[in-house]
């Protein structure tokens, strides 16, 4: 490899690796209340089955859950469900195959390694059906429980590529979905 090409590739790799780190700098509206980070069982959950247990408990007693930001809790849970649903039936809009095979794969690898995802918490999934902010909490919870159940029954060979991360194994999708939910739950107000 020629020196000039090596430098270009190194610069590109450095830039790609910095993307997830840069996304960690949050605007004022996305700051996380520090009490939530230390006390919430939502942030201690490790996988979709842990989140399902928390959702069933919340379904029994939905009072008191509040999230910082403009999205209602019902909309947040429905949005998380929507992401899981799209992994089963296909996302409406996809990033380019070049993006999914490079930047997307690197971003997912970093999120998985750090066990923490950072993304725009009030950005819809590209091309997704709009979710009303007045979505009732119980409706959002029920939808997310159903999506988790459907995902757990689905064979790996039936999973569709992620719009940004590309092809993922079922285990990788479980990580992606869990980190996605956990990232949204960082906004819980205790």
Phi and psi dihedrals of 67, rounded to 5? -125, 140
Mean pLDDT for the stretch of residues 161-188: 95
**Residue 22 falls inside a structural domain:** no
148 within 8 A of 53, measured Cβ to Cβ: no
**Residue 26 falls inside a structural domain:** no
- pLDDT, residue 27, reads 43
Q: What is the pLDDT of residues 100-150, one digit of tens each?
A: 999 999 999 999 999 999 998 999 999 999 999 999 999 999 999 999 999
**Residue 1 falls inside a structural domain:** no
Confidence of residue 165 (pLDDT cuts 50, 70, 90): very high
Nearest to 51 by CA among 189, 187, 185: 185
**Residue 11 falls inside a structural domain:** no
Whether 3 has a pLDDT exceeding 90, the answer reads no
- pLDDT, residue 37, reads 45
H helices present in the chain, as ranges: 3-22, 34-39, 48-60, 73-89, 97-99, 105-114, 137-153, 170-185
**Residue 158 falls inside a structural domain:** yes
How distant is the alpha carbon of residue 43 from its chain centre? 13
Conformational region of residue 132, where left means phi above 0, alpha means psi within -120 to 50, and beta covers everything else: beta
Mean pLDDT of all residues in the chain? 84
Question: Could you tell me the CA-to-CA distances from 54 to 35, 42, 148 in Å, in that order?
Answer: 19, 7, 12
Q: Compute the residue count for the chain.
A: 190
- pLDDT, residue 18, reads 53
Structural domains counted in the chain: 1
What is the C-alpha to C-alpha distance for residues 44 and 41, in angstroms, rounded to an integer? 5
Range of the domain at 115: 34-189
52 within 8 A of 145, measured Cβ to Cβ: yes
Confidence (pTM): 0.80
**Residue 175 falls inside a structural domain:** yes
**Residue 21 falls inside a structural domain:** no
CB proximity list for 7: less than 8 A, separation 6 or greater: none
Half-sphere exposure of 75 (CA within 13 A, CB side): 17
User: DSSP per residue over 65-110, as a string?
Assistant: -EESSSS-HHHHHHHHHHHHHHHHH--SS---HHHIIIIIHHHHHH
**Residue 102 falls inside a structural domain:** yes
Q: What is the pLDDT of residues 15-71, one digit of tens each?
A: 455 555 444 444 434 444 444 445 788 899 999 999 999 999 998 887 768 889 999
């Amino acid at each position: 490899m020629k020196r000039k090409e090596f430098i270009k590739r190194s610069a590109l790799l450095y830039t790609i690796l910095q993307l997830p780190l840069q996304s960690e700098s949050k605007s004022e509206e996305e700051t996380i209340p520090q009490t939530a980070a230390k006390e919430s069982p939502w942030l201690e959950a490790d996988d979709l089955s842990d989140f399902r247990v928390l959702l069933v408990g919340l379904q029994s007693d939905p009072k008191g859950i509040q999230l910082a930001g403009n999205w209602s809790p019902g909309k947040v849970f429905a949005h998380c469900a929507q992401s899981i649903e799209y992994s089963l039936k296909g996302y409406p809009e996809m990033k380019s195959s070049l993006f999914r095979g490079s930047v997307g794969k690197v971003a997912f690898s970093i999120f998985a390694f750090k066990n923490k995802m950072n993304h725009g918490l009030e950005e819809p999934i590209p091309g997704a059906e709009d979710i009303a902010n007045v979505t009732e909490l119980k409706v959002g919870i029920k939808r997310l429980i159903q999506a988790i159940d459907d995902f757990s029954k689905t064979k790996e060979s039936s999973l569709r590529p992620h719009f940004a991360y590309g092809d993922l194994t079922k285990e990788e999708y479980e990580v992606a979905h869990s980190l996605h939910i956990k990232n949204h739950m960082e906004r819980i107000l205790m």
